[in-house]
A and B are shown apart, each in its own frame.
Chain A
Amino acid sequence: MSPDSSTATTSPTASPTAEVQDLVAIFCRVLESTDVVADSDFFELGGDSLIATRVLSAIARGHGVELSFEDFVLAPTPEGLAAKIAAGR
Chain B
Amino acid sequence: MSKNHDTKETSSDLFDAFTEIALRYPERPALFHHGHAVSYRQLRAWAGTLATRLGTRPGVVAVQAAHTPETVVGLLGVLAAGGVYCPVDPAFPLQRRQEMLAAVDCRAMVTAEPETASPLGPVCVALEPLVESVANTARLPVPPAGHIEVGPDEPAYILFTSGSTGRPKPVVTPRRAISATVHSLRELFELTPEDRVLQFASLNWDTCFEEILPTLTTGATLVLDAEAHAGSFPRFLRMVERERITVLDLPTAFWHELVLHLAEDRLALPSCVRLLVIGGEAASPARLADWSGLDTGRIRLLNTYGCTETTLITHAVDLHGPRVPSPGARWDAGARAPIGRALPHVVQRISEQGELLIGGPALALGYLGLPQATEARFPVLDGTRCFRTGDRVSSAPDGVLTHQGRLDHEIKVRGIRVDPAEVEAHIATHPEVTAVAVAGATVAGRSTLVAYVVPRPHTTVGTLDADVLSYLRERVPGHLVPSRITVVPRLELTASGKVDRTASHQRHAAHPQAKGDLR
Q: Which residues of B contact A4 (CB under 8 A)?
A: none
Q: A46-B448, A48-B414 are in contact. Are A53 and B513 (CB under 8 A)?
A: no
| Contact across chains for B446 and A48 when beta carbons are under 8 A apart | yes
Please give me the 8 A-B residue pairs with the lowest Cβ-Cβ distance, nearest first. A69-B231, A46-B483, A68-B230, A46-B443, A53-B257, A57-B261, A56-B232, A32-B444
Given contact pairs A31-B444, A53-B257, A60-B233, enumerate 6 new A-B contacts (beta carbons under 8 Å).
A46-B484, A49-B231, A57-B233, A66-B234, A67-B232, A69-B231
| Contact across chains for B414 and A54 when beta carbons are under 8 A apart | no
| Contact across chains for A50 and B483 when beta carbons are under 8 A apart | no
| Contact across chains for A54 and B257 when beta carbons are under 8 A apart | yes
Kindly identify which residue among A34, A43, A53 contacts B233, using a CB–CB cutoff of 8 Å: A53
**How many residues in B have their beta carbons less than 8 Å from beta carbons of A?**
25
Nearest chain A residue, comparing its CB with the CB of B483: A46
| Contact across chains for B483 and A34 when beta carbons are under 8 A apart | no
| Contact across chains for A60 and B257 when beta carbons are under 8 A apart | no
Q: Which residues of A contact B265 (CB under 8 A)?
A: 61
Q: Which residues of B contact A57 (CB under 8 A)?
A: 232-234, 260-261, 264
Q: Does B431 count as interface, using CB distance less than 8 angstroms?
A: no
Q: Does A83 count as interface, using CB distance less than 8 angstroms?
A: no
Q: Which residues of A contact B448 (CB under 8 A)?
A: 46, 48
Q: Does A87 count as interface, using CB distance less than 8 angstroms?
A: no
Q: Does A51 count as interface, using CB distance less than 8 angstroms?
A: yes
A62 to B48, CA, bound (A): 51
A32 to B235, CA, bound (A): 26
Q: Which residues of B from 395 to 410 have beta carbons under 8 Å from A?
A: none
Nearest chain A residue, comparing its CB with the CB of B484: A46
A70 to B235, CA, bound (A): 13
How many residue pairs, one in A and one in B, have C-beta atoms under 8 Å apart? Answer: 75
A68 to B232, CA, bound (A): 6
Nearest chain B residue, comparing its CB with the CB of A72: B231
Q: Which residues of B from 412 to 470 have beta carbons under 8 Å from A?
A: 414, 443-444, 446, 448, 466
| Contact across chains for B444 and A52 when beta carbons are under 8 A apart | no
| Contact across chains for A69 and B512 when beta carbons are under 8 A apart | no
Nearest chain A residue, comparing its CB with the CB of B251: A50
Q: Which residues of A from 22 to 62 have beta carbons under 8 Å from B?
A: 30-35, 43-54, 56-57, 60-61
Q: Which residues of B from 242 to 266 have beta carbons under 8 Å from A?
A: 253-254, 257, 260-261, 264-265
A31 to B442, CA, bound (A): 11
Residues of A at under 8 Å CB distance from B?
A: 30-35, 43-54, 56-57, 60-61, 66-70, 72
Kindly identify which residue among A30, A31, A35, A66 contacts B232, using a CB–CB cutoff of 8 Å: A66
A46 to B254, CA, bound (A): 17
A2 to chain B, nearest CB (A): 15
Kindly identify which residue among B234, B254, B414 contacts A60, using a CB–CB cutoff of 8 Å: B234
A39 to chain B, nearest CB (A): 15
| Contact across chains for A48 and B261 when beta carbons are under 8 A apart | no
| Contact across chains for B234 and A50 when beta carbons are under 8 A apart | no
Q: Which residues of B contact A43 (CB under 8 A)?
A: 483
A46 to chain B, nearest CB (A): 4
Q: A48-B414, A51-B446, A54-B260 are in contact. Are A32 and B512 (CB under 8 A)?
A: yes
| Contact across chains for B513 and A31 when beta carbons are under 8 A apart | yes
Q: Which residues of B from 490 to 519 have beta carbons under 8 Å from A?
A: 512-514
Q: A32-B513, A48-B448, A57-B261 are in contact. Are A68 and B443 (CB under 8 A)?
A: no
| Contact across chains for B230 and A30 when beta carbons are under 8 A apart | no
A34 to B511, CA, bound (A): 10
B71 to chain A, nearest CB (A): 20
| Contact across chains for B444 and A51 when beta carbons are under 8 A apart | yes
A57 to B230, CA, bound (A): 12
Q: Which residues of B contact A68 (CB under 8 A)?
A: 230-232, 235
B510 to chain A, nearest CB (A): 13
Nearest chain A residue, comparing its CB with the CB of B258: A53
Q: Which residues of B contact A32 (CB under 8 A)?
A: 443-444, 512-513
Q: A32-B443, A32-B444 are in contact. Are A48 and B232 (CB under 8 A)?
A: no
Q: Which residues of B from 34 to 65 have beta carbons under 8 Å from A?
A: none
Q: A33-B513, A50-B257, A50-B414 are in contact. Are A69 and B446 (CB under 8 A)?
A: no
A60 to B446, CA, bound (A): 22
| Contact across chains for B232 and A60 when beta carbons are under 8 A apart | yes
| Contact across chains for A56 and B231 when beta carbons are under 8 A apart | yes
